[in-house]
Amino acid sequence: MSIIAATALILISAILSVSFPLATYTFTLASFGLSHVLTELHYVDNRFRQRLENSLRFSISQLLLLIICFRSLQVFGLIPNWVSIPLELSCVIGLVIIVIPVLVKKDWRLGILGTVLCASIIVGLCWSATLTLLLFAILHNLTPIGFIAEKLRGKQRNVALLACGVVFILVPLVILSGLPTQFLSSIGFINLNASFFPVGELEFNLGVYVPPQLQNQAIAIPAFSAAVFLQSMHYVVVIGVLPKWENGYQSRIANSFFTWLVVFLSTLLFVSFTISFINSRAVYGIIAAVHAWVEIPILLLALVIPENSTMNTESLSKEQLIN
pTM of this structure: 0.90
Helix runs in 212-276, H state only:
220-240, 242-245, 252-275
Q: What is the pLDDT of residue 184?
A: 96
DSSP, residue by residue, 32-91 = HHHHHHHHHHHHHHHHHGGGS-HHHHHHHHHHHHHHHHHHHHHHTTSS-HHHHHHHHHHH
Q: What is the pLDDT of residue 148?
A: 94
Q: What is the pLDDT of residues 225-262, one digit of tens each?
A: 999 999 999 999 999 998 888 665 444 455 678 888 99
Q: Give the residue extent of every domain in the chain.
A: 3-322
Q: What is the pLDDT of residue 100?
A: 95
Q: Is the dihedral of CA 180, 181, 186, 187 positive or negative?
A: positive
Measured CA to CA, the distance from residue 291 to residue 155 in angstroms comes to 30
Q: What is the pLDDT of residue 254?
A: 56
Q: What is the pLDDT of residue 216?
A: 93
Q: Does the pLDDT value for residue 139 go beyond 50?
A: yes
Closest C-alpha to 300, from 101, 89, 65, 37: 101
Closest C-alpha to 92, from 55, 45, 139: 139
Q: What is the pLDDT of residues 178-220, one digit of tens each?
A: 999 999 999 999 999 999 999 999 999 999 999 999 999 999 9
- Confidence category of residue 319, pLDDT binned at 50, 70, 90: very low
Q: How many angstroms separate the most distant Cα atoms in the chain?
A: 66
Q: Who contacts 236 (Cβ-Cβ below 8 Å, separation ≥6)?
A: 9, 13
Q: What is the pLDDT of residues 21-54, one digit of tens each?
A: 999 999 999 999 999 999 999 999 888 888 888 8
Q: What is the pLDDT of residue 317?
A: 41
Q: Does the pLDDT value for residue 310 go beyond 50?
A: yes
Q: What is the pLDDT of residues 66-118, one digit of tens each?
A: 999 999 999 999 999 999 999 999 999 999 999 999 999 988 899 999 999 99
pLDDT higher at 7 or 310? 7
- As a whole number, mean pLDDT of residues 152-162 equals 93
- As a whole number, mean pLDDT of residues 117-143 equals 95
Classify 53 as helix, strand or coil: coil
Q: What is the pLDDT of residue 46?
A: 87
Buried b (16+ CB within 10 A) or exposed e, 110-129: bbeebeebbeebeebbeebb
CB 148 within 8 A of CB 161: yes
CB 148 within 8 A of CB 160: yes
Q: Does the pLDDT value for residue 273 go beyond 90?
A: yes
Closest C-alpha to 176, from 216, 230, 135, 133: 230
- As a whole number, mean pLDDT of residues 15-24 equals 97
Q: What is the pLDDT of residue 251?
A: 42
Measured CA to CA, the distance from residue 121 to residue 89 in angstroms comes to 8
- As a whole number, mean pLDDT of residues 275-304 equals 93
Count CA atoms within 13 Å of residue 54 on its CB side: 0
In the predicted model, what is the mean pLDDT of the chain? 90
Q: What is the pLDDT of residue 195?
A: 94
Measured CA to CA, the distance from residue 293 to residue 277 in angstroms comes to 23
